[in-house]
Amino acid sequence: MNTAAPVDAAVVGGGPAGLSAALYLARYNREVLVFDTGHGRSTHHQVNHNYLGFPGGIPTVDLRKLGTEQLARYPGARIAHHRVTAVEGDAGRGFTLHAQDLTWRARTLVLATGVLDHFPHFPHWESYVGRSMFWCITCDGYENRGRSILVVGHTDAAAGEAMQLHSLTDRVRLLTNSAHDEITPTFRARLAAAGIEVVHDRIAEPEGSEGQLTAIHTRGGRRLALDSLFSIQGATPETALARQLGVELAASGYVAVDTEQKTSVPGVYAAGDLTALHSHQVTSAVHEGAQAASAANYFLYPPELKAD
């Protein structure tokens, strides 16, 4: 294996959290290496309307592009388009990252690996994500006021999302898309009281084109017309690297961090959707990336420059 020159910090993940962390580290005059596979939530088609300073909203792919261009102004920052498959080490001797036939060394590590969303899979499902298939009422609920919405999910979380969306439109239905229906009697009664139909069936195929869904056909023969689909089938935090390092996880399965984004392993920080079950927002990710970078920078100072 070839080992690249060591850097002050390695950031795993090129989304808003990772780019924010890298930018801050670069501005602290640190050598920082970002690993970006070009995947993740910020590579979908959605427009972010919640980020301050963009009156008309900004596509997340454009925000990533702008962040990458901003980072390119700093000679100490580099981006490697590799997937990190293994990591080892500790703060005493630094960290070793492995990808393909290369290894990298870093004195600190920021994990910004995000989550894996469990979208319903049907032909060309990726083309609808962020255009007419969403996962977040905070991000996309407002634009769907008064529209016909199909919520997909088989748990109380999906039922709760359907109830919340009902405050924006009276045209909401729920499709379990599962062999199991785990909605409790309490939530089922709430759905019924709100006039929200529950369809216990699975998706057979979509109807739509150019990213716009018009209907979902079920295996049972139903045609469910819609303007938008909200997928509430959960997400899995990408914690493989954190677990390799022995980083403590919260009961939810997400990486446990303190207010400075420190993990249980000295020299390892985490930021973005990886750190919390809720509040998966670009604004939160950018803030956490900046906080993680500032904590990592302080960690790198020699003892005589620290007040503690």
Domain boundary among 175, 210, 231: 231
Cβ contact 28:11 at 8 Å: no
On whether both 123 and 177 belong to a single domain, the answer is yes
> Alpha-carbon Rg of the chain, whole angstroms?
21
On whether both 105 and 24 belong to a single domain, the answer is yes
Distance CA 213, CA 228 (A): 7
User: What's the pLDDT at 243?
Assistant: 98
User: What's the pLDDT at 1?
Assistant: 54
Distance CA 107, CA 94 (A): 4
On whether both 131 and 34 belong to a single domain, the answer is no
List the structure tokens of 169: 């439109």
On whether both 151 and 167 belong to a single domain, the answer is yes
User: What's the pLDDT at 23?
Assistant: 98
On whether both 112 and 11 belong to a single domain, the answer is yes
On whether both 37 and 90 belong to a single domain, the answer is yes
Block residue for tokens 């050598």: 31
Domain boundary among 208, 231, 254: 231
Domain boundary among 189, 211, 231: 231
User: What's the pLDDT at 16?
Assistant: 97
Name which of 11, 5, 16, 8 is nearest 285 in CA terms: 16
Residue 247 sits in which domain range?
Answer: 2-116+235-305
Distance CA 181, CA 164 (A): 20
User: What's the pLDDT at 307?
Assistant: 86
On whether both 273 and 200 belong to a single domain, the answer is no
Domain count, the chain: 2
On whether both 216 and 240 belong to a single domain, the answer is no
Burial class (CB in 10 A: 0-12, 13-18, 19+), 228: buried
Distance CA 260, CA 142 (A): 32
- Using DSSP bridges, classify how beta strands 228-231 and 149-152 pair: parallel, antiparallel or unpaired: parallel
On whether both 111 and 253 belong to a single domain, the answer is yes
Write out residues in the chain with pLDDT < 70, as ranges: 1-3, 91
pTM of the model: 0.95
The CATH number of residue 165's host domain is 3.50.50.60
Backbone phi, then psi, for 241, in 5-degree steps?
A: -70, -40
Distance CA 206, CA 97 (A): 41
On whether both 205 and 131 belong to a single domain, the answer is yes
Give the tens place of pLDDT for each residue, 188-216. Answer: 999 999 999 999 999 999 999 999 999 99
On whether both 68 and 137 belong to a single domain, the answer is no
Give the tens place of pLDDT for each residue, 49-78. Answer: 999 999 999 999 999 999 999 999 999 999
Alpha helices for 42-98 (secondary structure H): 60-71
User: What's the pLDDT at 90?
Assistant: 73
On whether both 105 and 241 belong to a single domain, the answer is yes
Residues 6+ apart with CB under 8 A from 246: 264, 265
